[in-house]
Structure 1
């Protein structure tokens, strides 16, 4: 989370915010932490434990769950800085690593969402080609490449942030802060990183809109081609799929746009009112940031029968399943069915 030091920050004691802001934000973040850690851990266990859940789509979801779990490692430090702006008591290494992991995992999650959307596009619009091109082995290599590229993109954060003191001439531990360094701001490296971060939002966003728009058109045009006894149920599934895809794009925009607006405001702070606006954006974007890391398992539970059935198997391994349920949990990839697309949210 970006920080902006306001002249009247001492009015709130050790924090830049009043307790009327700190308490509800902390409660919401702790709830998101509980939901996110539990849900993402459950997602990893479900996909790793059950063979029928190890589809190419779910390999992306499992890797995304790991990324979202790592993101929550930074939450305690963000809450600490909310309540106590100075001093920073965790040292230089934790300051740099927490920002680096946060940034790297953010990029990894965005890249996973984009790659997953491309895979869904191929599976729905070109199902025969997708069966040949999209294999589990290739997806594993792609996931490794996504992680490598994301972590490499985040390496400037190791230079951008550090522990700094209010008085550089006579450093005082009680006045230490984990923040963007003066060197980063003066050298222009900060602005470069802002451009990289912004590209990581708008490029995937345009990609998602194009891909899901194409998927929507494909499903809409193919509805008249559905024949047979299951035509009605397949048409209903296709309509549901379009709705879910719209939710994906909307959730992505809502969770990430304030984060990038706040960052851009931070680089243009030149007066009190702009600084105040930047701080308010930073708090709101922090909450939405952690919401984005916790919302996926909730969406899976709400929208995928297959995921809910697997979750029941995880918690009740000896529960006797109905034959219909066994049929729904078949190991095929379901590249054109609604269930697999819902699992890919």
Structure 2
């Protein structure tokens, strides 16, 4: 009886912590990055899709914008789920479509960061726009083939046993869920190695050129370093923490995994927290666009300058009109 009471108390404690973190802390943060990310990426799309895709870098960045916009579509469903709105149909939509869309978009963005790193490092064939377009199509196709079975095989809709999406999967769907997790995580760690190697090599080369360059060109090297470290910082902050815990969490979802309930609980908490860091990339990617792409930066600054000039002219015209009505202008 005492043991049963203790277990009940423990479950209550975990429920309370779960409630505080996922129902009170995460929803406002997701709402904030949804609004900010939507504004930033709509502006980025508006600028990018007026810019000709005449280089590999621009092709990759345009695809990153599309991936971020797709990821943003999943945020409202995640917020509704965190807030505790109980609906079997909503759970099916979330588990079958929007959660898959979130991960699909995330890994598409991760791979394009890897391609940008290679493009910056090699700067020969991979920067050609035609090659980049072919690589982009292959990337979207590969990730679609990896993620589509998670949609198709989430079809065990006869009964809902718990709040876990894994309960909606068929036996084959559960196995594919593990396989696709291993594929995605492997793609991430491969991309991490590429990104780290490429930008470390580039940074080392830039530092070596400091001594040979005149003082008036040192600013160019500093700007280059800023763009290099911006993509590294975004990559390590957004994606590394989540992928450290993804495989253990995936294994813990299955009843035969051997993980205790306490370990499962903490893995879930860590997964949700690090997943939010991954979601933050929709707000940080536009910083990469601004620092890395000169065409994007010039277009944005030009449009802001034109907008400011029009506002100034409108204000000046309004002031002159007011003065004229008051008799100061004839």
Q: What TM-score, normalized by structure 1, do the two folds share?
A: 0.73
Give the superposition deviation at 1:33. Answer: 0.6
Q: Does 1:238 align with 2:221?
A: yes
CA distance in 2, matches of 1:190, 1:116: 29
Give the superposition deviation at 1:113. Answer: 0.6
Q: Does 1:57 align with 2:57?
A: yes
1:110 maps to: 110
Q: Which runs of 5+ in 2 are unaligned?
A: 1-6, 253-258, 311-330
| Larger RCO (CA under 8 A, 6+ residues apart) | 1
**SS across alignment from 2:225:** helix
2:268 maps to: 279
1:150 maps to: 143
CA distance in 1, matches of 2:28, 2:93: 28
Point out the structure with the larger helix share. 2
2:191 maps to: 204
The count of aligned residue pairs is 297
Indicate which of 294, 300, 303 corresponds to 1:314.
303
Contact 1:46/1:314 (8 A) holds in 2: no
Give the superposition deviation at 1:58. Answer: 2.1
Larger radius of gyration: 2
2:180 maps to: 193
Q: Which runs of 5+ in 1 are unaligned?
A: 1-5, 124-129, 322-345
Contact 1:212/1:245 (8 A) holds in 2: yes
**SS across alignment from 2:210:** helix
Structure-to-structure mapping, 1:5-24, within 5 angstroms: 11=12, 17-19=18-20, 21-24=22-25
CA distance in 2, matches of 1:104, 1:20: 25
Q: Deviations over 1:99-149 (max 9, x none)?
A: 3322221221111111111111123xxxxxx2x663223322222222112
1:288 maps to: 277
Contact 1:258/1:284 (8 A) holds in 2: no
1:324 maps to: none
After TM superposition, the structure 1 stretch with the greater mean CA deviation from structure 2, 231-240 or 273-282, is 231-240
CA distance in 2, matches of 1:65, 1:43: 7
**SS across alignment from 1:45:** helix
Q: Does 1:298 align with 2:274?
A: no
2:235 maps to: 252
Give the superposition deviation at 1:303. Answer: 7.5
Contact 1:39/1:297 (8 A) holds in 2: yes
Contact 1:119/1:134 (8 A) holds in 2: yes
Contact 1:88/1:176 (8 A) holds in 2: no
2:206 maps to: 219
Q: What TM-score, normalized by structure 2, do the two folds share?
A: 0.76
Give the superposition deviation at 1:316. Answer: 5.5
CA distance in 1, matches of 2:174, 2:43: 44
Give the superposition deviation at 1:249. Answer: 2.0
Contact 2:33/2:283 (8 A) holds in 1: yes
Contact 2:71/2:102 (8 A) holds in 1: yes
Q: Deviations over 1:260-298 (max 9, x none)?
A: 233223234321211121121122123112101221113
RMSD: 3.5
Contact 2:154/2:170 (8 A) holds in 1: no
